[in-house]
Amino acid sequence: MDHSATPDYQQRSERMEKKLRQFVEPWIDRIGRTLAIAAGVLIVIMGFLSAYGAIRRYAFNSPEPVSYEFGCMFLLISFVLANAAVERQNRLLKCDLLLDRFPSGMQGVISNIVSPIMGITFFGIITWISFGDALRALEIGQVSRSAWPVPLFPVKLFVPIGYGFFCLSLFYRLVLGLLGLKTTPRETAEAAAVDK
């Protein structure tokens, strides 16, 4: 095996990863942070709406549907917008009890390659279907079934936006996982050569 070509390949791989991190990561972080802040603002507004609805219902005995309707919409929107930021912080729910049973190299492959592929598949399908559903809601002028009808197109549009960015974030994690995977065999070969 020609070991002279390995450092050149390694250097190119490291340069490509460095360029990718310099160009893509700041954008993904900024967009994710913006979406997380928007989700946080919606949660605060949801709290005020819930308080308003409770005061109207119990203090004035005058229930109204607006606070509940907007609370449900903001809950959905805040959930889908915050997913990518939670993923970037590596705080998504995962089964550590199962993952800890694998060797550390396999844990990296599962966390950084297998999990993003499964996530992209699942949430990609949801993104695709929900985008069609949002366009259909716009086409037919769909509104909520309540005393105060709310157009559902803007609400339904946030699902493909949030999950689409989540898929982009997972794809970025997958690419970094694959680049990290390619550097592992060289380091293993060098460690084996040192042991001899």
pLDDT of 56-80, one tens digit each?
Answer: 888 888 888 788 888 888 999 999 9
Count of CB atoms within 10 A of residue 70's CB? 20
Tell me the mean pLDDT in the region 46-65: 88
Residue 194 confidence (pLDDT) above 80: no
CB contact set of 145 (below 8 Å; sequence gap of 6+): none
pLDDT of res. 189: 47
Phi-psi region of 150 (alpha: psi -120 to 50; beta: other; left: phi over 0): beta
* Residue 35 confidence class, pLDDT cut points 50, 70, 90: very high
Ranges of beta strands (E only) in 103-195 are none
Average confidence score pLDDT of the chain: 83
Residue 4 confidence (pLDDT) above 60: no
Instruction: Please tell me the total count of domains within the chain.
Output: 1
**Residue 23 falls within a domain, yes or no?**
yes
pLDDT of res. 3: 52
**Residue 7 falls within a domain, yes or no?**
no
Closest listed residue to residue 152, CA positions, set 49, 80, 69, 82: 69
**Residue 136 falls within a domain, yes or no?**
yes
Q: Any idea how long the chain is?
A: 196
* Residue 196 confidence class, pLDDT cut points 50, 70, 90: very low
Quick one: tokens of 89? 């912080």
Q: Which letter does DSSP use for residue 66 in this model? A: H
Query: Can you tell me whether residue 151 is helix, strand or coil?
Result: strand
Condensed to tens digits (0 to 9), the pLDDT of residues 163-187 reads: 999 999 999 999 888 887 765 444 5
Range of the domain at 153: 17-195
Condensed to tens digits (0 to 9), the pLDDT of residues 123-149 reads: 999 999 999 999 999 999 888 887 778
If one compares 55 and 104, the residue with the highest pLDDT of the two is 55
Residue 160 confidence (pLDDT) above 60: yes
State the pTM of this model: 0.79
The CA distances from residue 155 to 41, 85, 89, in Å, are: 16, 20, 26
**Residue 86 falls within a domain, yes or no?**
yes
pLDDT of res. 6: 56
Torsion of CA 173, 179, 180, 183, to 10 degrees: 180
Q: Which letter does DSSP use for residue 154 in this model? A: H
**Residue 161 falls within a domain, yes or no?**
yes
**Residue 104 falls within a domain, yes or no?**
yes
Quick one: tokens of 33? 């942070």
Of the chain, the percentage scoring pLDDT greater than 90 comes to 39
Min mean pLDDT across 24-33, 70-79, 88-97, 120-129 is at 88-97
pLDDT of res. 22: 85
d(CA 174, CA 102): 19
**Residue 2 falls within a domain, yes or no?**
no
The CA distances from residue 141 to 27, 137, 138, 151, in Å, are: 34, 6, 5, 7
**Residue 6 falls within a domain, yes or no?**
no
